[in-house]
A and B are shown apart, each in its own frame.
Chain A
Amino acid sequence: MKGRKELLVGSVVLLAILTAVFGTFWLQGRRFGSTETEVHVLMRDVGQLSVGNTVTFRGVSIGRVGDITVEDSGVAVRIQLLLDGDWILDDDAVVVLAPASMFGDWQAEIVTRSRFPQYDYSEVPPDVELVEGVRVLGGYVLPDLSRLTAVADEVAQNVASLTDRFDQAFGQETADQITRAITNMEEFTATLRRLADEQSVQFLGIADDVQSATSEIASVLATARGSLERIDALLASGDLDSILVNTKIITAELSGVSGDISAASQSLSGTLTLADSTFLSLNRITTRLENGEGSLGRLISDTLLASRVERLVEELNLLMEDLRANPQKYVRLSIF
């Protein structure tokens, strides 16, 4: 009887213990007898992720969140992911934490950075504490529904405020003002149209002028083109080279002439100085002559003397004529 009671109690107790233990493991999603890959994730925060949440890869559940602890430094949170089976993750693998549905359950999704490059992933610091055989990933937390709801609420409030202001602003008076504004706008448009017509006529004239100017410019350009072509031909023929050579020679000659001129100028300067002194002497002589000084002065100023000289000259002329006519009269030439 006692043995039966013990068996009964033992069976019930064991059954309850097994139910509690295996039920807990099963509800946690653990698979008995299979290997697990442990991966750690360092994040700035984890949103509403909790222990036991699902880990997904390409949308498939491959594990669960084993543990969430704040790092000793307090600047990061370490998440332990327990993946069912052996997993080798890509080098650029990261973890995105996001709501799994609209009802508060979250999930950790293993992705590559290239899939969501716009996210500001938290990086793994180089001095992070590593566990042997456990890879540490960075990640990103998507805003949860409450944050989005808060933003949407703020937007809704802004829209409501805007609507209220619009209602207040858009009264009957505003409508009348808008009507008047529209009427004014119509008048303004008609005026603008007239002005545009006038301007278009003027514009046509301007366009003609521009056209003629363009034609002239074209002809000038044609002439210029011809000139350029001739210059080009000239350049091509080599005449310009000879001209330049000649010009060079002429320039050298001119340079020599300039030197001669310069020397001549210097000589002329001396000559002028000499002439100046000559003129001064001549001036003195003239003055003395006018004053009747000297023989010549007396000759000039003394009329009697002049007439005597004149008569002397005449007599000399007669003498010379007589000498030419009768040389033996004056000159006797004998050898012996």
Chain B
Amino acid sequence: MNGFVLTPVEYVGRWSINRVRSLGKAGYLTTGALRALRNVEIWGPRLLTQMVSVGVASVPIAVFIAVFTGIVLALQASYTLTGAVPMYLVGSMVGKSMITELGPVLTGLALAGRVGASTAAEVGTMRVTEQIDALETLAYDPLAYLVVPRVLAGVLMFPVVIVLASAVGVLTGWAASLTLLDMSSAEFVRGLRLFFVPFDVQFAVIKSLSFGLIVTSVGCFYGFHAKGGAGGVGVAATRAVVVSSVLILVLDAFWAVVLL
């Protein structure tokens, strides 16, 4: 048995070991990060920078996505409903879809690409360039310095970005209904209010918090365990984006099952 050819059983065994090892690393990282929350003097000064990087800097791309999502939603709803049901239901579909589903998920996926990749790349670069080792040498807690401010910024800023994106999506859907669908504002607002309940906003915020936690944590995890040189950083960034996106969809389904 040479080292290049694995039997199926060996492959399954190696895959299982790697998964368990990854879970162990994730547990170690999570435990360390929670322990690092005590070191406010380390992560506190960096939190604002991360909030700008993760949140404020993400607003444009989130709004850009929301603008077109709102327009497309209005047009799709109109195309689906024409001749069958009253057009004011376009407002219901745009509002409900943007607030509870498309706003959080599309924005989350977009931020998974932007924030997840950048986080994995930054942390991974520090790992492969041994800057993290240097921090440890200087008795600096790397988790408090690198992971905690990013994860906290993600948890705090994802809801902010997603709320703004959802609002923009509704507004652009409204504008599209007025300009492209020959609807009146009264019709759109009637449909918008028809099935709205305050829990819709709470539902979106809860999902956003979990998305922010997942995207930044996964980015930090893969960056923290990046190996090799630039290639390793690239692999870490790619894996972070893919896993974050998958987990966002899984969480979306999870919250729908649990909360709706």
Hey, which bits of chain A sit against chain B, CB under 8 A? 2, 5-6, 8-9, 12-13, 15-17, 19-20, 23-24, 27-29, 50-52, 101, 103, 105
Please name the residue on chain B nearest to A52 by beta carbon: B197
From DSSP, what is the main secondary structure of chain B's interface residues? helix
Q: B198 interface residue, CB < 8 Å from A?
A: yes
Q: B164 interface residue, CB < 8 Å from A?
A: yes
- In the complex the two chains form, is A8's CB within 8 Å of B52's CB? yes
Q: Would you mind naming 13 contact pairs between A and B with Cβ atoms under 8 Å apart?
A: A5-B48, A12-B59, A12-B157, A12-B160, A13-B160, A16-B159, A19-B164, A20-B163, A20-B201, A24-B201, A27-B192, A29-B193, A105-B195
Q: B55 interface residue, CB < 8 Å from A?
A: yes
- In the complex the two chains form, is A28's CB within 8 Å of B56's CB? no
Instruction: Type the 1/0 row for B71-113, where 1 means its CB is closer than 8 Å to any CB of A.
Output: 0000000000000011001000001000000000000000000
- In the complex the two chains form, is B59's CB within 8 Å of A50's CB? no
Most buried by A among B52, B156, B192: B52
Q: Among the listed A5, A23, A28, which residue makes an inter-chain contact with B167, where contact means beta carbons less than 8 Å apart?
A: A23
Q: Closest CB of chain A to B105's CB: distance in Å?
A: 18
- In the complex the two chains form, is B89's CB within 8 Å of A16's CB? no
Please name the residue on chain B nearest to A13 by beta carbon: B160
- In the complex the two chains form, is B163's CB within 8 Å of A12's CB? no
Residue numbers in B under 8 Å from A27 (CB-CB): 95, 192-193, 196
Q: B205 interface residue, CB < 8 Å from A?
A: yes
Given contacts A2-B48, A9-B56, contact A28 B196 (CB under 8 A): yes
- In the complex the two chains form, is A103's CB within 8 Å of B85's CB? yes
CA distance A101 to B197 in the complex (A): 18
Q: Among the listed B56, B201, B205, which residue makes an inter-chain contact with A8, where contact means beta carbons less than 8 Å apart?
A: B56
Q: B49 interface residue, CB < 8 Å from A?
A: yes
Please name the residue on chain A nearest to B196 by beta carbon: A27
Please name the residue on chain A nearest to B53 by beta carbon: A5
CA distance A19 to B51 in the complex (A): 19
